[in-house]
């Protein structure tokens, strides 16, 4: 899957997520922020799926196992976006105290950053070991 195709699929996923957010806004009686939260939730799920499909296509095309670090980095970004959207939906629908949701988001964001850095460190060490 080349970069143009991947970019087009990502834009289509964003437009579809925005459309779903608008539909939810017009069908329900929540405030305008529900558009943002639903869009982030759906787009985060779509990005995770796109990351998985691009990894599978790369492995199928090359016939060998591709490095997983770029896949995990994309998946971490998708999960952070998904989590932000889900916490926003929970805040809007159930009216939770925002400080708990912000704390939970920051904890998961820190874990995602640590995981991304750790995976990149492992990748660099493997490259240095091959030389």
In SS3 terms, 14-77 reads as: HHHHHHHHHHHHHHCCCCCHHHHHHHHHHHHHHHHHHHHHHHHHHHHHHCCCCCCHHHHHHHHH
CB 69 within 8 A of CB 120: yes
Q: Cα dist. 16→13, 64, 70, 96, 112 in Å? A: 5, 33, 25, 28, 26
Say how far apart CA 5 and CA 62 lie, in whole Å. 18
What does the pLDDT read at residue 131? 60
The residue written with tokens 């949701």 in the block is 101
pLDDT of residue 11: 94
pLDDT value at position 57?
A: 81
Predicted structure pTM score: 0.78
Q: At what angle do helices 3-27 and 33-62 cross, to 10 degrees?
A: 150
Tokens of 68: 């997983």
Cβ-based neighbours of 97, under 8 Å, separated by 6 or more: none
pLDDT along the chain (131 residues), means of 10: 83 95 94 94 93 82 70 84 90 85 87 82 75 60
Give pLDDT, residue 6.
85
């Amino acid at each position: 899957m080349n970069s143009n195709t991947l970019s087009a699929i990502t834009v289509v996923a964003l437009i579809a997520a925005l459309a779903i957010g608008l539909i939810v806004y017009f069908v329900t009686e929540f405030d305008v922020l529900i558009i943002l939260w639903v869009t982030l939730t759906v787009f985060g799920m779509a990005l995770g799926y796109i990351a998985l499909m691009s990894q599978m296509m790369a492995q199928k095309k090359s016939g060998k196992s591709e490095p997983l670090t770029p896949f995990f980095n994309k998946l971490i970004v998708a999960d952070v976006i998904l989590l932000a959207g889900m916490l926003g939906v929970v805040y809007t629908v159930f009216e939770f105290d925002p400080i708990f949701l912000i704390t939970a988001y920051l904890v998961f964001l820190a874990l995602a950053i640590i995981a991304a850095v750790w995976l990149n460190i492992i990748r660099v060490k493997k490259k240095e070991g091959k030389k």
